[in-house]
């Protein structure tokens, strides 16, 4: 494990539980840990809610026929705050020490000492793997349909990807698009019901076995070159905006020197325990087969309740893991 010095000029604050990440897993953990009367801090370097914050029509979360990601996350965030959890969105984490007693999370402003760390840092969206991506980023190429979709009222839009996130993005963008293309290099992996809704939309064209090979435009995106893999033909397609949904990478770089990672994810069982006592992994960062909102909430619940039991044990001189 690599040793890294801490800035001892910063104020040191003790918390019972520090949660890294404010997605569904992190906020659920905060809610449950707060209900245990533990002092809880949630640190989030990015958008509160993570990937799900941009979802517009969630239909598979129990208790809701349909709810937006923002509405759902806001409700859980309010619940966590009601039970005393504190959320800090603006204090960037610089380093962590997980194998020490207490554990240490150093941010740009403070040093937090804590009995338990719950890692729920989620994932990041993968960038379009073309050299022109940097040229057209935010000039036609986007990654957040909720944030930027309104810029393309009555425009021609392309969505790249084949999973549920891509199909959901395409469904959302139909409210703006004059014409929308869903482009994927193989077959769609999204839910059949969502795909069928998209196929029935009169302004949508789904292009499968199709690769995007190049981007063009003077100052901003104007067209893309696409390859039909079945026929081997290339053509230029006029589009004014393109939204990328081609997968995500676990947000675990911060922990690479502290934990063993498997393909970027943290090994932890259904009890969310890692190899380090007092350190839990919850949500998309945990190595597991199923990653859904409901499983993220379940991970957050499990991690928080077992964190409470662990803290009780160490307070009584027993730190079995």
Q: Which residues are the active-site residues?
A: 144, 147-148
Contacts 24+ apart (CB under 8 A), 54-60: 54/144, 54/145, 54/146, 54/147, 54/169, 55/168, 56/146, 56/168, 56/171, 56/172, 57/168, 57/171, 57/172, 58/293, 60/292, 60/293, 60/294
- What is the Rg, in whole angstroms, of the alpha carbon atoms belonging to the chain? 22
Residue 160 corresponds to which tokens in the numbers above?
């790249």
Residue 184 corresponds to which tokens in the numbers above?
């994927």
Please, is 130 exposed, middle or buried when counting C-beta atoms within 10 Å of its C-beta (0-12, 13-18, 19+)? middle
Contacts 24+ apart (CB under 8 A), 255-261: 255/96, 255/98, 255/119, 257/1, 257/2, 257/4, 258/1, 258/96, 258/97, 258/98, 258/99, 259/98
Q: How many CB atoms lie within 10 A of CB 11?
A: 8
Cβ contacts of 37 within 8 Å, gap of 6 or more: 84
């Amino acid at each position: 494990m690599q040793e890294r010095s801490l800035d001892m000029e910063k104020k040191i604050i003790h918390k019972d539980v520090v949660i890294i990440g404010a997605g569904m897993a992190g906020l659920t953990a905060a809610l449950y840990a707060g209900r245990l009367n533990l002092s809880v801090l949630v640190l989030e370097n990015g958008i509160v809610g993570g990937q799900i914050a941009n979802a517009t029509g969630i239909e598979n979360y129990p208790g809701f026929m349909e709810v937006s990601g923002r509405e759902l996350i806001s409700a859980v965030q309010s619940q966590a705050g009601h039970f005393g959890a504190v959320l800090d969105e603006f204090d960037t984490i610089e380093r962590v020490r997980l194998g020490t007693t207490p554990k240490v999370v150093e941010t740009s402003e403070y040093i937090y000492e804590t009995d338990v760390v719950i890692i729920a840092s989620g994932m990041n969206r993968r960038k379009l793997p073309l050299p022109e991506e940097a040229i057209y980023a935010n000039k036609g190429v986007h990654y957040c349909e909720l944030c930027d979709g309104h810029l393309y009222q009555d425009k021609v839009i392309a969505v790249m990807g084949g999973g549920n996130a891509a199909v959901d993005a395409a469904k959302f963008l139909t409210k703006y698009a004059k014409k929308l293309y869903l482009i994927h290099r193989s077959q769609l992996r999204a839910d059949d019901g969502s795909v069928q809704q998209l196929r029935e939309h009169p302004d949508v064209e789904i292009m499968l076995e199709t690769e995007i090979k190049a981007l063009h435009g003077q100052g901003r995106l104007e067209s893309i070159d696409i390859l039909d893999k079945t026929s081997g033909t290339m053509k230029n397609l006029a589009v004014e905006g393109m939204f990328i949904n081609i997968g995500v990478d676990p947000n675990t770089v911060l922990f690479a020197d502290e934990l063993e990672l498997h393909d970027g994810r943290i090994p932890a069982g259904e009890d969310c325990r890692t190899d380090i006592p007092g350190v839990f992994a919850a949500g998309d960062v945990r190595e597991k087969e199923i990653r859904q909102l409901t499983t993220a909430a379940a991970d957050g619940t499990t991690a928080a309740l077992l964190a409470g039991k662990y803290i009780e044990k160490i307070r009584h001189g027993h730190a079995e893991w």
